[in-house]
Amino acid sequence: MKKKWSILQGCLVVVSLLAAGLLWQAQRSVAAPAAPLLLNGAGATFPYPIYSKWFDEYHKLHPDIQINYQSIGSGGGIRQVLAGTVDFGATDGPMTDEQLSQAKVRILHFPTVLGAVVPTYNISGLSAELRFTPEALAGIFQGKITKWNDAELTRPNPGVNLPGNDIVVVHRSDGSGTTYVWTDYLSKVSEEWKTKVGKSTSVNWPVGLGGKGNEGVAGLVKQTPNSIGYVELIYAIQNNMPYGLVRNSSGSFIKADLASTTAAAAGAAKEMPDDFRVSITNAPGKDAYPIASFTWLLVPASIEDGAKRKVITDFLHWMLNDGQKHAEPLAYARLPKAVVAKEVKAISEIK
Q: Which residues bind another protein (CB under 8 A)?
A: 1-2, 5, 9, 72-76, 78-79, 96, 99, 166, 168, 173-177, 197-205, 208-212, 216, 219-220, 223-224
For residues 223 and 252, which CB has a smaller minimum distance to another protein in the complex?
223
Q: To the nearest whole angstrom, how small is the minimum distance from the Cβ of residue 132 to another protein? A: 22
Q: To the nearest whole angstrom, how small is the minimum distance from the Cβ of residue 171 to another protein? A: 9
Instruction: For residue 289, give the nearest of 331, 334, 259 by alpha carbon.
Output: 259
Q: To the nearest whole angstrom, how small is the minimum distance from the Cβ of residue 251 to another protein? A: 30
For residues 6 and 348, which CB has a smaller minimum distance to another protein in the complex?
6
For residues 49 and 175, which CB has a smaller minimum distance to another protein in the complex?
175
Look at strands 168-172 and 107-122 and give their pairing.
unpaired
For residues 219 and 284, which CB has a smaller minimum distance to another protein in the complex?
219
Instruction: For residue 265, give the nearest of 236, 245, 295 by alpha carbon.
Output: 295
Q: To the nearest whole angstrom, how small is the minimum distance from the Cβ of residue 76 to another protein? A: 6
For residues 65 and 117, which CB has a smaller minimum distance to another protein in the complex?
117
For residues 129 and 166, which CB has a smaller minimum distance to another protein in the complex?
166
Q: To the nearest whole angstrom, how small is the minimum distance from the Cβ of residue 78 to another protein? A: 5
The whole-angstrom separation of Cα 296 and Cα 336 is 15
Whether the CA torsion 142, 147, 150, 152 is positive or negative: it is positive
Q: To the nearest whole angstrom, how small is the minimum distance from the Cβ of residue 252 to another protein? A: 31
